[in-house]
Chain A
Amino acid sequence: MVRQAHHNIVTLSLSKGDVWKRLLPSNSVDLNPMAILKNIKDLNLQKIREAKLYRRFASLKTSIVLLGILVGFYILGTIFPQGGELEEYIEAGGRFASLVVFFNLLNIFTTPGFLITALLLFINLFICTIERLFVLLNQGIAKTEDLQFIPTHIFPLEINPHLEDALEGVREVFKKDLGFREQSSDPEMLDIGTDTKIIEKGWSYKWLTWIYHLSILFCFLGFFLTYLFSFEDEITLRPGEETIIKPAAISRWNRSWGRKPRELNFRLALQEFITEYNQLPALDYPGDKLSRLAVGMGWRDPKYLLKNESYFPKDWKSRLKVINLSPKSVIGEGNQAVLEKTIEVNDPLFYQGVTFYQAAYKQNLKIQVDDNPILLETETGKELIVPGIEGTFIFGTIRTGALFKRDGTIEKIRPFADVSFIKKDSAGKSEIEKLGKLEQDGSLVVDSRRISLKEFKEASILSYRYDPGVPILWWSGVFVLLAMSLRVFGAWYRIIYRIEERKGIPHLLLKIRIKGLMADEERLIHRLKYSLRKMTEPIDLDTPV
């Protein structure tokens, strides 16, 4: 009946103005809150569902079109570097600067075009979910095509000559042997007759489909919360340091209300920073294709060499302590350490809704030139000019901590950095010369000057983020995956059957409908035949009861 009503709805053609006139009472222009409330109460839901715009949003075609538009935005987002600056884009050879500025292509996922399309998809999904719910709640009396009874399988029940016995026997087979359950549908409403039964097995695919679509709606809610309320920033801490957390960033929501970032209610201390490396021997393997073919043919062998070994990062960790500043902290007093944890990549610290991640680390070093007591300070990876030497030095990452060697032993690394020297030739072209390893308290001689690494300090860079959308997203994600997997990989069967007497013999007539990749009609028929054969076996009168 609902399905028939839908057909009528689609044929209605109303202008948008007409639709709203029909939906709301004539005094709907009254802006009095009580009047608005009354108008909301007077809204006719059926009329809303009849509206052309509503029907458009309840359409699967609309979903596909909106998804297609979103794909267009996504592709643009991979062509233009997101979050970048216009100058960087132009420097990198970007040729569409005016288009980039006009359409804000470097931040396309925050443009009104993208956000509106996403919103329209949300509305489309919401309406489709509501509509599907109506159908599901009414499916007990719904007269749908799949409930019309046109039998596709007929089995004679030869040994059970009485119709009533056969009916009871078949019912038992379906229920006990095959695990089906009877549907409590009204046969008269279904127009299939009172002697026809509907049985089902497996999780209802319609409900599962509905659940994962609803869960996707909740995912949208998670994205929305992230978009409005999340903020992130980073702090740099040296071992032994303690700091308050005052984010420079602020959520979109607070920014729109003109609020300023607030200090968090706890301090963070870095107790220790640890770096670990794996020994990685260099592979002597050709780069050109013919030489590689030679290796494949066995004319040449690959080799691992230790002399060019590199230190491959194994882990970097920060041992953190959280100090609560509230008068009543978790353990009763303020200014108490309430949590200690060693964090690393993939294992963050979570406290009061804020998550701290091991993002990176930085190293500062002090360099002595000859015996000059004034030390030069620099940071790894940055250029250093040494007075009296023409050119600049670059000190690579200082390797320190533990080295996990290939033979299973662990060695303490004597801190060192790879040093490069950049010199400009007469044409102004830069030349990079690798000077080699500079160990702590060791030295390198450049232009008759002795360069020594006297000391270095490490600092852990921690990023932190507040994102209230994450829990909602994870929970709804779990439901999406569970419901989708059960729907797709599971097995759902519906059998409509009837027992009819044909030429004095009862016959089982049935129609099977299946859903899910595990559903197998042939296997079901096979099992049914086997069970029916058991049921129709002649009674052995010689066997004592």
Chain B
Amino acid sequence: MLPVPTPSEKAKPDMGVRFENVSKSFGPVDVLKNVSAHMPSGMTTCIIGPSGSGKSTLLRCTNLLERPEQGRIFIEDAEITAPGVNIDALRVRVGMVFQHFHLFAHLSVIENVALALRKVRQMPKEAAEAKAAEHIAAIGLKGFENRRPAELSGGQQQRVAIARALAMEPKVMLFDEATSALDPELVKGVLGIMRELALGGMTMLVVTHEMRFAREVAGQVIFMDQGKIVETGPPAQLFDAPQTPRLRHFLDQVL
């Protein structure tokens, strides 16, 4: 585990995301129990584990959609859990893709992607839409700019959601079971974009049930169970030589 950062370590480019002794509970349920982890920058970290293991909560803590009760979380040089941190400014650096897409239902595809560029980045409308159009083209949906989310398939909606996050040029991308709600034949397109992004050197935290994706794309895999990190390591190690009975049991169930 990395040492506690001192000011001299600030702005190190390879710091990525770090969790230090993070705990979070919902009422009587301890969802995260003293979790420490390091997700290096420029790498994809896949988080696997049974449902209810705390994977999604870990992810949601990374942009403070959930606030941990204890512990500290760092993104690159900044401690996001420090008191008085500007959450909105922080979130601009962390993109998130949800299981159920959550596109803005009243806005067209291009407006979905351009909205935060205009309101948060304060770009003029034309510039924001031009940039949005580039990102829409990049995820293969050129020609769909003026459609409403309800007129798109789940796979298309999720690709727009990815474009919406990427347009903000985040340092870190979070994927919360991004393909779980998709029909099987639509999963591939979304995973393809995620793979491309990973190979491009984006720092990614990916909560997923897609073990093949984890094996092929992840630089690091974290196995969680009952609010704790049970095993961490390169995919080859976790999938081919699991160290704990819990991971072995889990892999037996899903592979």
Chains A and B belong together in one complex: no
Binding site for B on A (CB under 8 A): none
